[in-house]
Amino acid sequence: MKLAYVNHLLEVKMTISYKGKRKTIDKLVIDTGAAHTLISSDIVDELGIFFENRDHLISSYGIGGEEYSFRKPVDYIKLDNYEIPDFNLDFGNLDDWGINGLIGLDILMNGQFIIDLKKLELIQN
């Protein structure tokens, strides 16, 4: 899968399915320093993804300090030809970042992905 190099970040697209509705989301940054993938809650409104009382609240720490998100199971996520069914994703506020999310180690390690920085490719091992 080809990576885009935008504003000194590696970006990729991913498809999410939730309750039978599907959406391909762009501007997702590959982040090997993130334990969990985080998707902007604003970008998935049309899929019906929003916080509900039974959702798990997740606390994350980074350069910007402590952030909160909610975790929700999705039907599947798909990066190029690699698909993970019944996956738990974190959703939160990314308004100030100019991106739609972060692809973290939960997905990268699950797919045993290799990041080829010379060819700017994400290769599923």
- Convert the pLDDT of each residue in 91-120 to its tens digit: 998 877 789 999 999 999 999 999 999 999
Residue whose tokens read 């010379």: 118
pLDDT at 121: 96
Whether residue 113 contacts residue 124, with contact meaning beta carbons closer than 8 Å, is answered with: yes
User: Dihedral angle at the C-alpha atoms of 22, 10, 122, 107, nearest 10 degrees?
Assistant: -60
pLDDT for residue 109: 96
Strand-pair category, 21-30 with 113-116: unpaired
pLDDT band at residue 15, thresholds of 50, 70 and 90? very high
Query: How far is 74 from 25, CA to CA, in rounded Å?
Result: 14
The domain total for the chain is 1
Domain with 71 in it: what CATH number?
Answer: 2.40.70.10
Q: What is the pLDDT of residues 28-81, one digit of tens each?
A: 999 999 999 999 999 999 999 999 999 888 887 666 666 789 999 999 999 999
Contacts of 53 (CB under 8 A, 6+ apart): none
Q: What range does the domain containing 17 cover?
A: 4-124
Q: 82-91: per-residue pLDDT in tens?
A: 999 999 999 9
SS3 for 69? strand
Separation between Cα atoms, residue 125 and residue 118, nearest integer Å: 17
Say if strands 82-92 and 121-124 run parallel, antiparallel, or are unpaired. unpaired
Question: pTM of the predicted model, to two decimals?
Answer: 0.91
